[in-house]
């Protein structure tokens, strides 16, 4: 997978920077056509759920998330499974 870290800044009506966050884009493909998609997570409240862009306070935090979670194949927002034992018994 290919990822980008994007810096997003919010400016008020006077052009003054009020906040800055870092978001992640993931390169995907559909029918062989590449496109970029935001990495999101789900927020639920008041009986409704919706997806929002996952934000980080620093570039380093976003980088660590990509390396540790997205590239590390660690599950997000759900269960992950790993076979730890396997048996083959012959019944007679």
pLDDT-derived band of residue 22, with 50, 70 and 90 as boundaries? very high
How many other CB atoms are found less than 10 A from the CB of residue 23? Answer: 17
User: Is the pTM higher than 0.75?
Assistant: no
Torsion of CA 48, 26, 72, 85, to 10 degrees: 60
Give tens-digit pLDDT for 64-87. 888 888 887 666 656 666 777 777
- Rounded mean pLDDT, 3-17: 91
Q: Is the pLDDT of residue 23 over 90?
A: yes
């Amino acid at each position: 997978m290919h990822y980008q870290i994007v810096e997003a800044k919010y400016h008020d009506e006077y052009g003054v920077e009020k906040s800055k966050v870092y978001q992640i884009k993931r390169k995907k493909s559909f029918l062989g056509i590449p496109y970029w998609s935001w990495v999101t997570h789900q927020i639920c409240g008041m009986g409704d759920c919706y997806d929002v862009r996952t934000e980080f306070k620093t570039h380093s935090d976003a980088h660590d998330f990509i390396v540790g979670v997205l590239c590390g194949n660690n599950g997000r927002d759900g269960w992950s499974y790993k076979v730890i034992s396997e048996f083959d018994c012959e019944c007679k």
